């Protein structure tokens, strides 16, 4: 297993965990949009979707139900474009029906995560983003234990502006510190609502909680992403928001965050 792990991840330059303290903060959306932004910046990107609670990234990238094929070195990831610049492997590909729930006990979950981390033949990648389940659990430890055989360059934490969400992210920060994972930065998602008619931004869930949390914990604040109906529609329809709406404020926010993340990874 170790040998296979080393072989399949040896050409992956950077590995980034995407974490959230609770569900419903848009972690998978942020993972998807970061991957698209990095791809448009000329990077070869992979997404490992091990969110057992809700593997939604295949739908967000309009991949749908896809059979997982194998090669000599393991599972072949699903490529979302002809240039093979964005690769995806999701737990959702293993479900017979996309509406099926993953009703597995801990040991089976841990074994599957270990296989996912070690047995995917990624090839050459600049960045591998790992979309994890919400919270801190056995699944996170399984991801870390298997990835650390190769490398983990750090974690991006996703929160919404409210105090209840930032409080949960504090626990995620503690988890990172206890497990020795570098915090690359905090992203505040759903930071205001962009009106589809006038483009004015209104603060529905308050604003600035993520930035304040970054200051209090000495973490990098990567930026904020507003609630944008155009982004929501793109995600629902599996379209590339970054390509479709390059003039939007949301595009600017995501692009800026991805560039800041790349800069952090270069010094990681």
Say which residue, 245 or 39, is predicted with more confidence: 39
Say which residue, 196 or 157, is predicted with more confidence: 157
88-93 average pLDDT score:
88
User: Is 6 inside any structural domain?
Assistant: no
d(CA 50, CA 130): 7
Please report the pLDDT score of residue 5 as a whole number.
46
23 annotated among ligand-binding-site residues: yes
Q: Where are the beta strands (DSSP E) in the chain?
A: 12-20, 45-49, 69-71, 74-76, 78-79, 86-90, 125-131, 154-159, 183-194, 201-202, 221-227
User: Is 97 inside any structural domain?
Assistant: yes
User: Is 2 inside any structural domain?
Assistant: no
* Secondary structure string (H, E, C) spanning 130-167: EECCCCCCHHHHHHHHHHCCCCCCEEEEEECCCHHHHH
19-42 average pLDDT score:
89
Q: Is the pLDDT of residue 138 over 50?
A: yes
User: Is 159 inside any structural domain?
Assistant: yes
233-262 average pLDDT score:
89
User: Does the predicted TM-score (pTM) go above 0.85?
Assistant: yes
End-to-end CA distance of the chain: 27
d(CA 104, CA 109): 6
165 annotated among ligand-binding-site residues: no
Between helix 27-40 and helix 249-266 the angle, nearest 10°, is 80
- Chain-centre distance of CA 4, in angstroms? 24
246-255 average pLDDT score:
88
Q: Is the pLDDT of residue 11 over 80?
A: yes
User: Is 218 inside any structural domain?
Assistant: yes
Q: Is the pLDDT of residue 17 over 80?
A: yes
Q: Is the pLDDT of residue 3 over 50?
A: no
Please report the pLDDT score of residue 203 as a whole number.
73
d(CA 78, CA 88): 5
Nearest alpha carbon to residue 127 among 263, 21, 246: 263
Between helix 138-147 and helix 106-118 the angle, nearest 10°, is 30
Residue-range definition of the domain harbouring residue 68 = 12-267
Please report the pLDDT score of residue 87 as a whole number.
96
User: Is 138 inside any structural domain?
Assistant: yes
Share of the chain above pLDDT 90, in %: 34
71 annotated among ligand-binding-site residues: no
User: Is 7 inside any structural domain?
Assistant: no
3-state secondary structure of 247: coil
Q: Is the pLDDT of residue 118 over 70?
A: yes
Chain-wide mean pLDDT for the chain? 84
Q: Is the pLDDT of residue 103 over 70?
A: no
pLDDT band at 98 (very low <50, low <70, confident <90, very high): low
Please report the pLDDT score of residue 157 as a whole number.
93
25 annotated among ligand-binding-site residues: yes
C-alpha distances out from residue 124 to 192, 211, 221, Å: 37, 34, 29
Share of the chain above pLDDT 70, in %: 88
Between helix 2-9 and helix 106-118 the angle, nearest 10°, is 50
**Which CATH number is 71's domain given?**
3.40.50.300
pLDDT in tens, 216-238: 888 899 999 988 888 888 888 88
42 annotated among ligand-binding-site residues: no
User: Is 3 inside any structural domain?
Assistant: no
24 annotated among ligand-binding-site residues: yes
Task: Give the chain's domain count.
Answer: 1
Contact call for residues 258 and 43 (beta carbons, < 8 A): no
195 annotated among ligand-binding-site residues: yes
């Amino acid at each position: 297993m170790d040998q296979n792990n080393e072989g399949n991840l040896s050409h992956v330059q950077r590995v980034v965990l995407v974490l959230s303290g609770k569900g419903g903060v848009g972690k998978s959306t942020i993972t998807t949009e970061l991957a698209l932004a990095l791809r448009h910046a000329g990077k070869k990107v992979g997404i490992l979707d091990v969110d057992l609670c809700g593997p939604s990234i295949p739908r967000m990238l309009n991949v749908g139900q896809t059979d997982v094929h194998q090669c000599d070195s393991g599972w072949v990831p699903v490529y979302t474009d002809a240039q093979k610049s964005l690769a995806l492997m999701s737990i959702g590909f293993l479900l017979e029906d996309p509406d099926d729930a993953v009703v597995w006990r801990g040991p089976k979950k841990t074994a599957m995560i270990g296989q996912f981390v070690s047995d995917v033949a990624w090839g050459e990648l600049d960045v591998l983003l790992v979309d994890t389940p919400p919270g801190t659990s056995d699944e996170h430890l399984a991801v870390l234990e298997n990835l650390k055989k190769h490398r983990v360059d750090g974690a991006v934490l996703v929160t919404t502006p409210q105090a209840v969400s930032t409080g949960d992210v504090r626990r995620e920060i503690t988890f990172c510190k206890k497990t020795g994972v570098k915090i690359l930065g905090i992203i505040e998602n759903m930071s205001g609502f962009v009106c589809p008619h006038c483009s004015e931004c209104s603060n529905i869930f308050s604003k600035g909680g993520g930035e304040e949390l970054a200051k209090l914990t000495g973490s990098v604040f990567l930026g904020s992403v507003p609630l944008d109906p155009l982004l929501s529609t793109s995600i629902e329809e599996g379209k590339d928001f970054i390509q479709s709406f390059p003039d939007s404020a949301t595009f600017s926010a995501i692009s800026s965050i991805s560039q800041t993340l790349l800069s952090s990874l270069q010094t990681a």
